Amino acid sequence: MAKPKKKGGPKQKLSPTARRAKARRDKKYAMTAERRKKKAHSQRKRRKAGSSCEGKDWDHKDGKFKSVKSNRGNGGSGTKKEGGKKYKFKAYVKKKKK
């Protein structure tokens, strides 16, 4: 009989030092202003959508809920095009002061 799959996918095999360093990096990235805005925005969308969005992620680029699988990797094009400063969309662009 096969082992049941672990929920959440395979774990990274890191040394304790590397694990702590990764946790610090991840936390620092998650607390950036842009990530916090995206998180708050998707939480608002999720509350508004109710149960129709169960098992789906909010795609910030396309502006709709997608399956987790299709919301990864930029639709098969990879993530280099979307990363960092290149990933702008109107909901998060800073408005210029007049």
Residue 54 resides in a domain: yes
- The type of residue at 42 is S
Angstrom distance (rounded) from CA 71 to CA 79: 11
52 Cβ contact list (under 8 Å, min separation 6) = 65
Residue 30 resides in a domain: yes
Q: Total domain count for the chain? A: 1
Q: Partners of 57 in the beta sheet?
A: 66
- 10-residue mean pLDDT profile of the chain (98 residues): values are 61 90 94 88 86 82 81 70 61 58
Angstrom distance (rounded) from CA 54 to CA 31: 25
State the DSSP H helix or E strand holding residue 17, giving kind and residue range, or none if neither.
Answer: helix 16-30
C-beta separation of 42 from 60 below 8 A: yes
Residue 88 resides in a domain: no
Residue 77 resides in a domain: no
Q: What was the pLDDT predicted at 8?
A: 63
Angstrom distance (rounded) from CA 23 to CA 8: 17
Q: What was the pLDDT predicted at 28?
A: 95
Q: Which domain holds residue 35?
A: 16-69
